[in-house]
Amino acid sequence: MPLWFTSIGIMAWPLLAMSVIASTLLLERLYCYCLELHTYRLARLGRGELIHHLEQQTTVEQGEAWSALWLQQGQMQWKKRLPLLSLIGTLAPLLGLMGTVWGLILMFRDIAATKAAVTPALLANGLWEAMYSTMAGLAVAIPCLLVFGLLNTWRGRLSDGYVSLLNQHHFKQSFGQDFFQGEVVTRHVTQQMTKHKAEVEKNVSA
């Protein structure tokens, strides 16, 4: 085994196992989110499997129910395995710290058992070996927590984008026209002004 690996101490194999699991999770989640982003871009262009299924729904109520179930299943898929990634990012530094403490215990035990003079070089040699464990734990944890935060942000934006996309589709299916916020607000204000004017005229004539 390499010197750096054996210097980690008793936590070398647990941290190695966690790094392998974390690497697999990172690759799998990144691949999943890249595919989902491609699906979302196709849906924004009016193509893809999502739009095909939406157009098969015969009524607005059926389309809304199908969209709610699809979005719920999608969110469950996007959250999948992310808690495990966060758990590895939390436990890895603690395991590294535990390995460092264990290494310090062994170092001081050996110093107490020796009859030779304790020199700064002897202390430094034991300390740098003990620090390897903490460094290994941080090396595993930092990428996990970084990707976990990025994927969580990505998941939130993806979910909001799909909600907006589905709502726009239902609006078009209900009213036969595309949704545009400015037109909707203007039409709502016009309707309110017309209604208020009619009430005023009614009160005046009464």
The stretch 54-75 carries a mean pLDDT of: 84
pLDDT above 70 covers a percentage of the chain that reads: 85
Residues in CB range of 42: below 8 A, 6 or more apart:
48, 50, 51
Taking 70 as the threshold, does the pLDDT of residue 179 lie above it?
no
> What are the residue ranges spanned by the domains of the chain?
3-175, 181-206
Taking 70 as the threshold, does the pLDDT of residue 187 lie above it?
no
Which of 50-59, 91-100, 138-147, 148-157 bottoms out in mean pLDDT, i.e. has the lowest? Answer: 50-59
* pLDDT attached to residue 45: 85
> Is-contact 99 134, C-beta < 8 A?
yes
Say if pTM beats, i.e. exceeds, 0.95. no
Helices and strands per DSSP (H, E), number in the chain: 7, 0
The stretch 75-87 carries a mean pLDDT of: 90
Closest CA to 170 of 68, 24, 38: 68
Q: Is 115 helix (H, G, I), strand (E, B) or coil?
A: coil
Average pLDDT, the chain: 82
> What is the distance between the alpha carbons of residues 185 and 177, in angstroms, rounded to a whole number?
15
Give the model confidence (pLDDT) of 1-47 as tens digits: 676 677 777 888 999 999 999 999 999 999 999 988 888 888 888 88
Between 110 and 176, whose confidence is greater? Answer: 110
Taking 90 as the threshold, does the pLDDT of residue 116 lie above it?
no
185 pLDDT band (50/70/90 cuts)?
Answer: very low
Closest CA to 51 of 170, 155, 180: 170
The stretch 78-91 carries a mean pLDDT of: 92
pLDDT above 90 covers a percentage of the chain that reads: 26
